[in-house]
A and B are shown apart, each in its own frame.
Chain A
Amino acid sequence: MKHIEWGYLIISYLFLGGLSAGLFFVSALSTLFGKDANVRIARWGALLSPWPVILGSALLVFDLGNWYRFYKFFLHVQFVSPMSVGAWLLLFFSLVSLLYAFAWLTSEQRKRFSPGFQESCPCCKFLMLI
């Protein structure tokens, strides 16, 4: 039986990925079921959740033999390959958690971070609805 060693990059990713998922989960739960007292938790969870997983994904990329070829993950969709499914899920979750964090910003902060964003623009409204 062969022995597989996972380096510190993978170990850190597992922790960071779990941290993000936990933050997102807690935030979502307090948004859905929480009373007014939980708004702070929901907001902090939402604002913090994208960053650990993005850092963790970067660590995973640097664990590859040829890290500059990582874009090839997103040129193929191989449903039978758990690695491919995982890469797509990581991308999807990062984007969703970023959008979710954006949705929790106040309207002044939104204007500051993205000058192009207009509350009245239909595309942006649709974005906020999701």
Chain B
Amino acid sequence: MVDTGGNPAATLDDASAEWIRALNATGAVRDAALARLHSLLVRAAAGELRRREAGTWVPGRELDDLAHQAAGDAIVALLGKLGSFRGESRFTTWAYRFVILEVSSKLGRHYWRQHPAEHLEAEDWDRLPGRLGASPGEDAEHAELVKAVRQAVDETLTEHQRRLFVAVVLNEVPLDALVARLGTNRNAIYKVIFDARRKIRAFLVANGYLEERGLRPS
């Protein structure tokens, strides 16, 4: 069941109602609304790519293409769901959501242009402390715990859980890149990692490395 926060479908505000009216119209009125929406979404996509500092790893001219592609694909998706807009938010907020999700998806696909497929499988457990916020000087102190986490991974995770845990946690493959690579969706991968985290934690608690409510006191 969707977490609605107790917010019932609302009456459309004037600006949102005008967007819906124009996008449901025909001819010049609809064309003008589509052009205005496209412009808004290109600007939002470009802003989002800048905010994510995508320019540091996507060439400049491709950034512009990505923004336009994200806006175009967002409009197609949005028009397909226009009838489901119930005015629970402003229309533009609803529309921006489509383009933000498109930006995430496109950046996920772009990831594999710069990273070899082998990146998915490589296992370097020495990276675990750094990946989970331990400073290099603390690595030796965490060695026993790293060993225990690895044992938990070996003994409690399924092959699929292990593969995704290694990709996401050890190799820092972004979830959206995995979505693109495996042809699945973000929720499915998140659920696998969620279950893996639970299993590893239960193993560490059962073997005395963690307390039920937190880390064992040093």
- Mutual binders A and B: no
The chain B residues found within 8 Å of chain A, CB to CB, are: none
- Interface of A toward B, CB cutoff 8 Å: none
